[in-house]
Amino acid sequence: MPFRLRTRLAAIALAAIWLGGCGKPEVAPASAEPTPVTLQTVQPRAWSSTLQSLATVRARESVGLTAAVSDVVEKVYFDSGDEVKAGQLLLTLRGNAQDAALVAAQATYQEAEQLHRRQLELVGQQLVARSTVDTQKALRDAALARVRQMQAEIVDREVRAPFAGVLGIRRVSPGSLVTSSTVIATLDDVSRMHVDFQVPESQLALVQPGRSVTGTAAAWPGETFAGVVSTVDSRIDEATRAVTVRADFDNPDRRLRPGMLLQVSLFQPERQALVIPEIAVVQVGRESYVFRVKDDDTVERADIRAGERRDGLVEILEGLQPGERIVVDGAGKLRPGLKVRDGAAPAGSAR
């Protein structure tokens, strides 16, 4: 037989032997010792679904302080970061001309008032016509209006805090020329914060005022802030198909600041659900399954549909029933048909 033909026949024979071995299904030995794993009986428990979103922190009241008129800063009565009360004087503008004009207006008013009183005495004696008294009264009222106008212009040269809060960085100094568009400083009421976040239109029915909300911030790792939903916007954004939800968060320690980003979780009312440890779920591509223990202590694959995952737990929507036993730890060394026993899995065992 030619050498080339013998070589080809030998290769075909080896391939047949290899394929025959691979075609046999791997079956657990009937006499194998039970594999120690951690078991758990599936039971319903209280479960609260959560809706998560990114949120922006806003002050309950926030404003950029400006002056009503343009002039030169005369005095500044605050420093950056000060806490102020409502109505507290923060800054005055130079007002020498207005002060002088007020003095002149007050003098004119006093003169007009005195003349009006004299004419009232004379009109009773019929020494002055009634029309003359009326004319003088109009002049007196005009002088009084001028006084009040000058007083208002002087008040416009004062900048006061419209509400209690914390001031930002001071941006002006004595001698600075400010206009009505010049921001003197920012003022924020941070005792209680608004937290705004978006909720998809499809989940609008799950959002109601009074629901509890928690938030975490990158600036304060490991700390959770608590709040309550206060308002749901009356409109849905046509571009994003989402609605804006506002929650109120107490901020006694001033850790939350306007503009901060929060990861918020909106909690729903508790309900009964099948919940198992997340470590029990084996994920292969898009398929999820657990190993279910039968009455003879052998395991079988149970395909499941998982729901929400949180804190190392996962909600089971389909595939398991209450009272069934599953493998929690040690699933990585199992295959259908293996017998198991409840016991501590070896350290470092794969899922």
Distance from C-alpha of 330 to C-alpha of 349, rounded to nearest angstrom: 6
Distance from C-alpha of 246 to C-alpha of 193, rounded to nearest angstrom: 10
Q: What are φ and ψ of residue 118, in 5° steps?
A: -60, -40
| Choices 1.20.1420, 1.10.287, 3.90.550, 1.10.3470: CATH for 95-156 | 1.10.287
* b/e map 48-61, b = 16+ CB within 10 Å: ebebebebebbbbb
Q: Could you give the C-alpha distances from 313 to 53, 121, 214, 276, 329, in angstroms and in order?
A: 20, 94, 19, 6, 13
Domain boundaries, the chain: 26-47+272-342, 52-60+187-271, 95-156
pLDDT higher than threshold 90 for residue 118: no
| Three-state secondary-structure class, residue 164 | coil
| Three-state secondary-structure class, residue 181 | coil
pLDDT at position 335, please?
86
Mean of pLDDT over the chain: 82
Measure the CA dihedral 304/308/313/318, to 10°: -20
pLDDT at position 231, please?
92
pLDDT at position 147, please?
79
Distance from C-alpha of 56 to C-alpha of 52, rounded to nearest angstrom: 13
Domain spanning 52-60+187-271 has what CATH number? 2.40.30.170
Give residue-wise pLDDT tens across range 146-156. 878 777 777 77
Q: Average pLDDT for residues 86-101, to the nearest whole number? A: 81
pLDDT at position 226, please?
93
8 Å CB contact between 314 and 281: yes
Q: Side chain identity at 304, as an amino acid letter?
A: I
pLDDT at position 29, please?
52
Share of the chain above pLDDT 90, in %: 32
Q: Could you give the C-alpha distances from 202 to 27, 128, 241, 243, in angstroms and in order?
A: 47, 83, 9, 10
pLDDT higher than threshold 80 for residue 306: yes
Q: What are φ and ψ of residue 167, in 5° steps?
A: -85, 150
Among candidate residues 185, 195, 146, 148, the one with its CA nearest the CA of residue 165: 185
One DSSP character per residue, 13-44 reads: HHHHHHHHHHTSPP---TTPPPEEEEEEE--E
Count other Cβ atoms within 10 Å, centred on residue 314: 22
Share of the chain above pLDDT 70, in %: 85
Distance from C-alpha of 66 to C-alpha of 181, rounded to nearest angstrom: 6
Residue with the bigger pLDDT between 176 and 131: it is 176
Strand partners, 123: none
Distance from C-alpha of 157 to C-alpha of 180, rounded to nearest angstrom: 11
Give residue-wise pLDDT tens across range 261-277. 999 988 777 788 888 99
Q: What is the pTM of this model?
A: 0.59
pLDDT at position 143, please?
81
Give residue-wise pLDDT tens across range 311-338. 888 888 888 899 999 999 888 888 888 8
8 Å CB contact between 333 and 320: no
Q: DSSP class of residue 171?
A: -
Burial label for 146, CB within 10 Å (0-12, 13-18, 19+), is middle
Tokens of 103: 């003095």
Domain spanning 26-47+272-342 has what CATH number? 2.40.420.20
Give residue-wise pLDDT tens across range 11-64. 554 444 444 444 443 444 544 688 888 888 898 988 877 788 999 999 999 999
